[in-house]
Amino acid sequence: MSSLCSVTKTLLMRFFCSVAELEHQYPLVCTRALVFGDMRLGQDLLNFLRQRNALVTESEVFHLVRQLDLNGDGRICYSEFLNALLPVDAAVRSSLMARVDCGTHVHLPHDCCFLLANLLMKEVEVNRELEVRRKVLFSRPDFKLLHAFRYLEEPSIGQITPASLAEVSEAHNHHMTACDLELIFRRMDR
């Protein structure tokens, strides 16, 4: 197997097996989709993070799952998992796609579980910080949502685009790369 798809499929299957070790045999271990509408599976993800010393609440895990679920169907399919796991940079993505799967372990090695938990925890921390900043912004009596949208939008089409975001950020001396803009759109375009 020489594509990243096989590598990531293996990683995902190893992650499922790792979660299975936490309590009991995981019923969806042979599929590539997690159903998080079921509290049982959300609880497994919560246990996975907590056993790696992550201090997270159930609502934070639910928010994380909602963030990864791009189409809103309550499941994280393989393509959504890839989108969340792979770096944004196209060159790095393509180099990872060509990487060969080196191991055939049934379970994720301990250090990979640790790194995966750290990645998920970092997402939770970013969500926490963004939530604080949202509250600060909305606490200002002069902040108006429609004015904020109009400030960021592309006037000719009535939507926020990468070009309009880049223009606004340049006006305030915040120089964003294409990858930075892609990261913003990953979070906003839900």
Number of residues in the chain: 190
pLDDT at residue 175, as a whole number: 84
pLDDT at residue 83, as a whole number: 74
Total tally of structural domains belonging to the chain: 2
pLDDT at residue 5, as a whole number: 47
Q: 90-109 in b/e burial notation, b at 16+ Cβ within 10 A?
A: eeeeeebeeeebeeeeeebe
- Does 139 reside within a domain? no
- CB distance 58 to 123 below 8 Å: no
- CB distance 125 to 30 below 8 Å: no
pLDDT at residue 65, as a whole number: 77
- 90 and 151 share a domain? no
Farthest CA pair distance, the chain: 57
pLDDT at residue 136, as a whole number: 92
Q: Which residue has the tokens 């299957």?
A: 13
Radius of gyration of the chain (CA): 19
Query: At what angle are helices 39-50 and 58-68 packed, to 10 degrees?
Result: 110
- 114 and 174 share a domain? no
- Does 136 reside within a domain? no
- 41 and 95 share a domain? yes
pLDDT at residue 105, as a whole number: 52
- 86 and 8 share a domain? yes
- Does 177 reside within a domain? yes
Domain that holds residue 94: 4-131
- Does 137 reside within a domain? no
- CB distance 108 to 14 below 8 Å: yes
Mean pLDDT by 10 residues, the chain (190 residues): 47 52 37 40 72 82 78 72 73 71 59 79 86 91 89 88 88 86 76
Q: Which of 88, 104, 131 is the last residue of a domain?
A: 131
Q: What is the DSSP letter of 159?
A: B
In whole angstroms, give the CA distance from residue 15 to residue 114. Answer: 11
- CB distance 61 to 43 below 8 Å: no
- Does 82 reside within a domain? yes
